A and B are shown apart, each in its own frame.
Chain A
Amino acid sequence: MVQQAEYTIKLPTFEGPFDLLFHLIKKAEVDIWSISIADITEQYLAYLQSMKELNLDIASEFLVMAATLLRLKSKLLLPRSPRAENLEEEEELFEINSAEELFQRLEEYRAFKEIAGLLRQKEEEQKKVFLRSTGGQKVMVFSQQESVYTIWEGAHHLSDIMTRFDKIARAREYVPAFSAVEDFVVARKADYIQSLLQQSKRAMPMKTFVTESGLWELIIVFIALLEMSRQRKINLLQEKPFGPILVSLKS
């Protein structure tokens, strides 16, 4: 019979790889700028190993950092080749290519972690202040009046444009045409819109770009404007709700 040892080990939990690294540095009682990459890598890997032995889930960020550390360590051992450095591609979260960069990122993290600690103190202090108006509930009873989301004005434009096109289409009783919209047609329309805008050098109402009649044309203009807006070539402006939508070139 296999005897299972029943004991619990408490591992401190960390908010992320920077937090763990920071903890290791503090434990070594050195400051960030004087740590040795080799030592810190070893300790970092040892910690991950103990997590693994305890069957804890290791978040991917921790593994990416492990790889980053190993690469930094190997870099220190190898002669420098300036060419190779430019070729490297990094995971976005850790664009760390040198020990200095790592130290800087750690330093930055440390500064914000410190602020987080100060905010914690403020939170505790503030919880001790009771307010009459909330019937003894504490300060963090939030106001109901303030809205959280400010609607992105781009989304606003999009629905406006769609509503307006729908209106125009209905008013003129367009007959739906079922042809596929081809890219080059849209591109040509976009060029046309751009040249009109360049000539006039001012904002123009959307309807100027509809030359023929037909739902087909309307759809092309619609797609072209969306595409140009996406490419950040144009500004869409509406001064009041349901007012005309003006198109202008981005300077």
Chain B
Amino acid sequence: MKKEQQKKIIEALLFLSEEPVKTDKIAVVLSTSPEEAEAMVEELQDDLSSSGRGLQVFETAGGYRMGTLPELAPYLEKAFSEDISSNLSNAALEALAIIAYNQPVTRIEIESIRGVRSNHVIENLIKRKLIKISGRKDGPGRPILYGTTADFLRYFGLKDLEDLPQLELLDLDQDGVSTQQQTDNNPVDI
């Protein structure tokens, strides 16, 4: 298949998709390798930006999406005024930051860093699907562990968790924050 044809297909695919499209999926559609597919997406990205279009293809939550250019927002807002959700509160962002870097993490660990009770904040983040319950910690009371969701990545336009900014801690041992994985499900010898 010709390059031009491949790029057209990717463009159409991303235009129609309501979810980020993974490279693997694009590769299947094009009957090509994931590496080839990724190279084609990158070419499409360049094409869009060099030909002065209002659209862009960007990487988020482990896949690609098509969206408008940020600088067009003031104009588009005139046509699409409905704003379905408000910005997150400062408290919510604090809690999210802590969860993102320490997941899986318990409520107590989050509260210990923030210095305030955080149950309402956590509830709201779950309602907004930015975090989820990712298990239970081995230990007294088996406290719930929280982690971030794919929607978290989408909301902030992050490719993956590695895409988060570097956490700059000065001379600090993280004794308050145990990120011990749950090792409860050892296979049982039968």
List A residues at the B interface (Cβ < 8 Å).
Answer: 15-19, 59, 61, 65, 92-95, 104-105, 107-109, 111-120, 122-123, 125-143, 145-146, 148-150, 152-154, 202-203, 232, 235, 237, 246, 248, 251
Q: B153 CB to closest chain A CB, in angstroms?
A: 10
The residue on A at minimum CB distance from B67 is A129
4 residue pairs, one from A and one from B, having the closest CB atoms: A136-B80, A16-B116, A128-B70, A128-B73
Residues of B within 8 A of A152 (CB): 133, 135-136, 144
Q: Which residue of A lies closest to B126 (CB)?
A: A148
- 4 additional contacts (CB under 8 A) given A118-B165, A136-B80, A246-B190: A113-B97, A129-B58, A148-B126, A203-B188
| Contact between chains at A108 and B172 (CB < 8 Å) | yes
Of the candidates A17, A113, A119, the one whose C-beta lies within 8 Å of that of B156 is A119
For window 42-93 of chain B, which residues contact chain A by CB distance below 8 Å?
A: 56, 58, 65-73, 76, 79-80, 82-85, 87-88, 90-91, 93
Please name all residues of chain A whose beta carbon is closer than 8 Å to the beta carbon of B18 when the two chains form the complex. Answer: 133-134, 143
CB pair B65 A131 closer than 8 Å: yes
> Does B19 have its Cβ within 8 Å of any Cβ on chain A?
yes
B106-123 CB mask vs A (1 if < 8 Å, else 0) is 001001111111000000
Question: Do the beta carbons of A15 and B156 come within 8 Å of each other?
Answer: no
Let me know if A235 and B186 touch, CB within 8 A: yes
Find out whether the CB atom of A130 lies under 8 angstroms from the CB atom of B138.
no
Cβ proximity bits B16-39 to A, threshold 8 Å, 1 near / 0 not:
111100000000000000000000
* Docked CA distance A179–B115 (Å): 49
Q: Is the CB of A107 within 8 A of B170?
A: yes
Which B residues are within 8 Å of any A CB, using their own CB? 15-19, 56, 58, 65-73, 76, 79-80, 82-85, 87-88, 90-91, 93-94, 96-98, 100-101, 108, 111-117, 126, 128-129, 132-136, 138, 142, 144, 149-151, 154-158, 164-165, 167-172, 174, 176-177, 184-186, 188-190
Which residues in B have their C-beta under 8 angstroms from that of A59?
A: 116
Q: Bound complex: CA of A188 vs CA of B175, how far in Å?
A: 40
Cα(A132)–Cα(B15), bound, Å: 7
A109 to B169, CA, bound (A): 9
B53 to chain A, nearest CB (A): 13
Give chain A nearest CB distance to B173 CB in angstroms.
Answer: 8
Inter-subunit contact A116/B116 (CB<8 Å) = no
| Pairwise interchain contact B97-A123, C-beta atoms closer than 8 A | no
- Give Cα A246–Cα B186 distance, bound, in whole angstroms: 13
CB-nearest residue of chain B to A247 = B188
Which residues of chain B come closer than 8 Å to A232, judged between CB atoms?
138
**Residue numbers in A under 8 Å from B185 (CB-CB):** 153
Nearest residue (CB) in A for B134 is A150
> What is the CB-to-nearest-CB distance from B45 to chain A, in angstroms, rounded to a whole number?
14
Contacts of A148 in B (CB 8 A): 126, 129, 132-133, 149
A109–B101 contact, CB under 8 A? no
A16–B96 Cα distance when bound, in Å, is 16
**Which residues on the A side are within 8 Å of B65 (C-beta)?**
131
Task: Across the interface, name the chain A residue whose C-beta is closest to B131.
Answer: A148
Nearest-CB distance from B141 to chain A (Å)?
10
* Contact in complex: A125, B91 (CB < 8 Å): no
Known: A93-B115, A116-B96. A123 touches B66 (CB 8 A): no
A105 in complex: contacting residue of B91, B167, B176, CB < 8 Å: B176
